[in-house]
Amino acid sequence: MKLAGVLLAAGAARRFGGPKLLESLPDGTPLGVAAARALRRAVPRALAVVRPEDHRLGRALRAEGLTVIPCPRAHHGMGHSLAAGVRASADAGGWLIALGDMPFVRWQTMAAVARALNDGAPIALPSFRGRQGHPVGFGAEFGSALAGLTGDTGARTLLQTHAARVHRVPCEDSGIVRDVDTATDLARHAAP
């Protein structure tokens, strides 16, 4: 199955107070670039959905080998961004949906979720000590539903509706539950 990785990088970052995906991690890597690198290592084809005006981020993600998809409706919520990424890769055999503000997810964890999809799981996500996290993978049968998403709930409704079909991939990667919403989150999560 040829999966496409979709990095959702079109959020407004209101709680952060600015373009958080270009903020540096302790090693100097912008956090959006760190998330992109992990996704790029995990799947052979990766796209990033960004706001049309986010030129610097778009350039940085293109430099990492991702195809950049501008989403004019991103301000209406994550569902629009996710749908734009899936529509731009409609020929894929499934999608690995990663978040640009989760730079601490290991690429090996992303690859394990991708393997679960390739092995036949309709929906797959990682689980760390009983907590489910990101990225979330969807098989091809969910393409139409994903491409039609709107609003700010992303694919949460699909996960709830098809809860019995979700395959959890156990891991020891706390990065799957560590997102960066505020500057405090960045400082706390990046601390050794």
Residue 17 has pLDDT above 80, yes or no: no
Q: Is the dihedral of CA 24, 128, 177, 119 positive or negative?
A: positive
Q: Which residues pair with 68 in a beta bridge?
A: 48
pLDDT band for position 11 (50/70/90)? Answer: confident
Q: Note the pLDDT of residue 181.
A: 72
Q: Which residues pair with 47 in a beta bridge?
A: 6, 67
Q: Where are the beta strands (DSSP E) in the chain?
A: 3-8, 46-50, 67-70, 94-99, 123-128, 131-132, 136-139, 166-170
Percent of all residues in the chain with a pLDDT value above 70, rounded to a whole number: 93
Per residue in 132-177, pLDDT tens? 999 999 999 999 999 999 888 778 889 999 999 999 999 999 999 9
- Cβ burial, residue 103 (10 Å; 0-12/13-18/19+): buried
SS3 per-residue string spanning 68-84? EEECCCHHHCHHHHHHH
Distances (CA, A) of 116 to 28, 47, 75, 141: 32, 20, 32, 15
Q: Note the pLDDT of residue 189.
A: 62
Per residue in 78-126, pLDDT tens? 889 999 999 999 999 999 999 999 999 999 999 999 999 999 999 999 9
Q: Note the pLDDT of residue 36.
A: 98
Q: Strand 136-139 and strand 123-128: pairing?
A: antiparallel
Residue 192 has pLDDT above 60, yes or no: no
Q: Note the pLDDT of residue 187.
A: 73
Say whether 29 sits in a helix, a strand or coil: coil
Buried b (16+ CB within 10 A) or exposed e, 136-173: bbbbbebbebbbebeeeebbeebbeebeeebbebebeb
Q: Note the pLDDT of residue 18.
A: 67
Q: List, in order of start, the domains of the chain with CATH numbers.
A: 3-190 (3.90.550.10)
Indicate the average pLDDT of the chain: 91
